[in-house]
Amino acid sequence: MTSSIAFLFPGQGSQAVGMGKELAEKHPVARQTFEEADAALDFSLSQLCFEGPEDQLRLTENTQPAILTVSVATWRVLKEHGVEPVWVAGHSLGEYSAHVATGTLSFADAVRTVRNRGRYMQEAVPVGVGAMAAIVGMETDKVQQICADASEGEVCEPANMNSPEQVVISGNKSAVERAVALATERGAKKAVLLQVSAPFHCSLMQQAQERLASDLKALQMQNPSVPVMCNVDAALVKTADASRDALIRQVTGAVRWDECVRGLIAKGAETFVEVGPGKVLWGLMRQIDRAKTSWQTSDDAALQKALQGLTGAN
């Protein structure tokens, strides 16, 4: 079994109706995870994950606890089979899943916190005022320059530096639209507005950050059992206080994903496992470093394949 494993936990955008259903049917520890989430939230999150409706699952305050729950359920199945990471990281919301996996946060606290986080983010900016866009095939410093040129007194900032190929920007709708036009003009392979409900990871989220900060400060947190690569600094956090601080600053701060993954590689990570729904991080991994072994666990077949590869079991 490999000893240089990093677990990567996905963020918003990886949701799909039906996620976790097969997992819960086949693995008692996964089913128990969904039951815990339902109890913590006082409504059937499991039913929303398994059956939809999609418009309800897409609401940020539902999406965030739903992805967290599927990710934690998947992590518990891996753990049950003896697969343990040396480091963990999570993309945006996924950083909460990472902290559950390392014992920084209890699962019940995390699931309630991210539901509030989703609601605060949704309420911070009126619908239609903010936007996000993906800029593909352009270096980060050029994207930063475009944001500066497009802002014209409004907010337009890099929000996710996902890979050498992809930067997502966030801010006021009109500024983001100007940036998309400029990026296209200046040679981006692709520049498209994203279907999102709010402009995440930019300074328009200040109010959400303040509301979330008081929630996080009220929580009991432990030092993580293994180092967590945090989004906002692309650095490892090893204490409860540093973990809390990184989760607070992350609301308005950019997700430095490309740097996070490269930082883990520099520490010696050889094998990367995307733990949870979808294959977004697995796809980004291929853009960041194709030479590294990477697994995804988006359905039971993929999970079984990963387990076989990670444990050497047949």
User: Catalytic residue numbers?
Assistant: 92, 201
What lies within 8 Å, CB to CB, of 162 at 6+ separation is 168, 255, 257, 258, 284, 287
| Angstrom distance (rounded) from CA 38 to CA 280 | 26
| Angstrom distance (rounded) from CA 286 to CA 220 | 37
Amino acid at 169: I
Strands 293-296 and 271-274: parallel
CB 241 within 8 A of CB 230: no
| Angstrom distance (rounded) from CA 74 to CA 218 | 28
